Structure 1
Amino acid sequence: MPSAVRFGVNYTPSEGWFHHWLDFDLDSVRVDLDSIAALGLDHIRVFPLWPLFQPNRTLIRPRAVEQLVALADAAAERGLDVNVDGLQGHLSSFDFLPAWTQTWHRRNIFTDPDVVDAQAEYLRRLAGALADRPNFIGMTIGNEVNQFASGPHPDPDRITPEEASRWLVRLLAACEDGAPGRLHLHASYDAAWYQDDQPFAPEHSARLGGATAVHSWVFNGTAQRYGRTGVPTEHHAAYLVELSKAWADDPHRPVWLQEVGAPAPFIPAEHAAAFTEATIASVLDCPEVWGITWWCSHDVSRDLADFPELEYSLGLLTNDRRTKPAGESVARIIEQFRPMAPATRTTALVVDTTSGRSACAPGGLVFEAFARLTADGARPTTVLVDRATDPDHLAARGITEVLTPDQVLR
């Protein structure tokens, strides 16, 4: 764990969004990075578009890799570290899958041997190109790749949890082979924690890779159910951080809040700054947090069509690089932040997913009980039901009180 929590942002280029890779302009990128660094942030998460970097199964474009390295070097000049998501994959409601996995070449991106070999080589190549850069944090396999494995995706590549595990282990090993010793991980959206039939499971997130990544979006029913200032809404990110610890084998495994944002209209623009401050404050009260990486840096230009409405206004900065109120809040938090070690959370809520992970989702028993405890001033964490009576596990985590959801909600 670092001595202090890392503060970063998911980099969305102000000119051309992620299509900027088609007309890569390093000068424009540099100005974007200047505006990010001015907020006091220390890292960015970067998204190459997989079909542009690997347009054929056996072609990884050298020029695209050079541009990625140039972006990383420009970030280093501004004191920004870089994490790279490899398989894009899925971004802001759009899928970016290479033609050699689709239509006439349709094959499962998780289990087809040729596809997986190509993915492994691609991730190894990207990691290897950055391995000697001091500001390279490491690779994330891809952005929320679990959405391709199940509904509600309209055309999923269905797999079993065992197949998901094999895929993750293989690709994490490829990242490590390319850049040994870096922080390599994978990222799922919250279906991994909440959706009963999602093959990417909590165990995968909490046990594979160098850290647990959680992505917190309150448009998942949380803000709709509890309102923009409801305790479950303002503490949703902290809930996911603490929920993930139930499945971790390492009692001190780092957790990275890798995506969190203030989506309108669920969080109206005039309340985005307050939501940002409340969310970050609640997460900073969680032990073992590696970092908080806000989504996103710059608004999506209105010149680009067909995005869901909320995607246009998620930036800390406008499309012309002016700081928004939420960005001002983040800058102020960073300026005032001092390294700290949050007190151990000694009260644990029992997590029993025998009847399904939906118990952990908004409206579920675990979710409701966690919110009740938080509203009452407690600082809960979670523990799996089969570990709830294990004295060694509880002692390793500093847990002194164990409560079931039924006990709390009564």
Structure 2
Amino acid sequence: MTAPRFGVNYTPTRGWFHHWLDFDLDEVRADLDSIAELGLDHIRVFPLWPVFQPNRTLIRPRAVEQLVQLVDAAGERGLDVNVDGLQGHLSSFDFIPSWTATWHRRNMFTDPDVVEAEAAYLRTLAAALADRPNFLGMTVGNEINQFSGDPHPDPDRIDAEQAGTWLRRMVGACEEGAPGKMHLHASYDAAWYLDGHPFTPAHSARIGAATAVHSWVFNGTAQRHGRDGVATEQHAAYLIELSKAWAPDAHHPVWLQEVGAPAPHIPAEHAAAFTEATVANALDCADVWGVTWWCSHDVDRALGDFPELEYNLGLLTNDRRVKPAGEAIARAVREWRGREYRPAPRTTALVLDASGLDASETAPVRAQCGRTRLAARGVRPAAVLAESANDAAYLAARGITELLTIDQVA
């Protein structure tokens, strides 16, 4: 099988994502040079929605042109590009256009005028890049599910049916702009762990060309299990396998689109070891399209009000020097270059009981404890929905020969 892709979420060194306000192509090129030197093959980039679409009926041509320039510059360095559209939320900050807030407060997921404007924006970005050979496709937005409910301080509340309708419309708009590209959407892990959350595992696994997984161990995993605990080092692998339970295609691609080593949960001196373990465990799962680390460069400490852990997540420093985690990723790239990617089948699977709910549109109780116990015993568990447990062809396609309930390993 094709070797997995290795990439990074691009955080500009000058001005962070505010660089769109003072776009400097030479600075971008220097950043991209430092990324390419790690041997990476793609980046994920983040237009700021209010900068690109400051009015509901205005998508700034100059901003779109600058995005195309960035994509072309990446191509010159052998880097493919995925573009996130609706930003949305980045590193604890929300970037929402004024035409959706305060005096113009409208639900971003259900208001007809807002939804039409969002679709037009995504379609415009996709169309501008459709003919670029290094354009991978669009991601609808970065963890935009966080706007749909708690703990967001001012959520646009919806239900699961409305979330699914909105996602299909947005992914469809991307496809209209750039047919045949890899368009998808991305949720933070409330979609997997938070009961009642409107964005569900089924949405992640069944809408779009691939399933995006964002794996952050500061969600309580590292706090509970320690920096080198099994659950911590295998958190990304767990989410990858969990996602596969909801995919109707036994070999639906999964993209580990965000994963990083957040301090102090992962101390700086252990970042390289965590990076190596996370990548190795993730690529012990089948059907992984690629690993995209968060993030390329540290955030400039001249910028205020970020949570402390956000400043030092880069593979490179803010002045473009390679950090130990960057060296670990570069080693992984070299080790996987030209290597066959064919993980052994995961023959044992945990059965996830949907508790009588329709797992196609509602999320069951999510629990990691059984999987962690099995992994600690050296088992490489997969996951299946109870509704698929009697489907012999499906189980065979995934190589599953043994089924266990969570109660059996608790």
| C-alpha deviation, 1:255, in angstroms | 0.2
Cα deviation digits, residues 135-184 of structure 1 (max 9, x gap)? 00000000000000010000100001000011011111110000000000
Partner residue in 2 for 1:101: 100
Alpha-carbon RMSD: 1.1
Partner of 1:243: 242
Deviations 1:224-273 (A, max 9, x none): 00000000000000000000011110111000000000000000000000
> Which residue of structure 1 lines up, in the alignment, with residue 32 of structure 2?
33
Q: Distance in 2 between matches of 1:270 and 1:245?
A: 33
Question: What letter matches 1:340 in structure 2?
Answer: Y
- Deviation of the 1:396 alpha carbon: 2.5
Q: Structure 1-normalised TM-score?
A: 0.97
Q: Where in structure 2 are the equivalents of 1:70-85 lying within 5 Å?
A: 70-85=69-84
Give per-residue Cα distances to partners, 1:91-130, cap 9 Å, x unaligned: 0000000000000000000000000000000000000000
CA contact (8 A) 1:259 1:295 kept: yes
Amino acid at match of 2:373: R
For residues 7-406 of structure 1, what are the structure 2 equivalents within 5 Å? 7-337=6-336, 338-354=339-355, 359-360=365-366, 364=367, 367-406=368-407
Q: Tell me if structure 1 keeps the 8 A contact 2:317–2:323.
A: yes
CA distance in 1, matches of 2:409, 2:341: 30
Q: Please give the alpha-carbon distance, in whole angstroms, between the structure 2 residues aligned to 1:330 and 1:292.
A: 10
Aligned residue for 2:7, secondary structure, equals strand
SS at the partner of 1:349? strand
CA contact (8 A) 1:8 1:293 kept: yes
| Kept after mapping to 1: 8 A contact 2:355/2:364 | no
Displacement of 1:354 in angstroms is: 2.4
2:331 and 2:206 map into 1 onto residues whose CA distance is 34
Which one-letter code corresponds to 2:342 in the other structure?
A
Structure 1 residue 4, shift from structure 2 partner = 1.0
CA contact (8 A) 1:195 1:358 kept: no
3-state SS of the aligned residue for 2:204?
Answer: helix
Unaligned runs of 5+ in 2: 357-361
Uncovered stretches (5+) of structure 1, i.e. residues with no partner: none
Deviation >3 Å, runs of 4+: 355-359
- 2-side partners of 1:289 and 1:314: how far apart? 23
Tell me the amino acid that sits aligned with residue 104 of structure 1: W
SS in 2 for 1:140: strand
Q: Secondary structure at the match of 1:137?
A: strand
Instruction: Compute the displacement of 1:333 (Å).
Output: 1.0
Distance across 2 between alignment mates of 1:387 and 1:123: 35
Secondary structure of the residue aligned to 2:218 is helix
CA distance in 1 between partners of 2:110 and 2:194 (Å) = 21
Give the letter aligned to residue 407 of structure 2.
Answer: D
Contact 1:139-1:185 within 8 A present in 2 as well? yes
**Deviation digits for residues 49-98 of structure 1, max 9, x if unmatched?**
00000000000000000000000000000000000000000000000000
Any idea what SS the aligned residue of 2:245 has?
Answer: coil
Structure 2 counterpart of 1:215, which letter?
Answer: H
CA deviations on 1:271-310 (whole Å, 9 max, x unpaired) are: 0000000000000100000000000000000000000000
Q: Residues 212 and 254 of structure 1 are in contact (CA less than 8 Å); yes or no, is this contact kept in structure 2?
A: yes
- Output the TM-score relative to the length of structure 2: 0.97
- CA offset at residue 390 of structure 1? 2.3
Q: Which amino acid aligns with 2:293?
A: W
In 2: Cα distance, 1:353 partner to 1:218 partner: 25
Q: Percent identity?
A: 73
How far apart, CA to CA, are the structure 1 residues paired with 2:355 and 2:18?
Answer: 43
Tell me how far apart the structure 1 counterparts of residues 379 and 240 of structure 2 sit (CA, whole Å). Answer: 16
AA partner of residue 368 (structure 1): C
Residues in 1 aligned to 2:65 and 2:319: alpha-carbon distance in whole angstroms: 26
CA contact (8 A) 2:202 2:363 kept: no
Q: CA deviation at 1:357?
A: 5.3
Q: Which amino acid counterpart does residue 113 of structure 1 have in structure 2?
A: P
Task: Say how many residue pairs are matched.
Answer: 403
Letter in 2 for 1:342: P
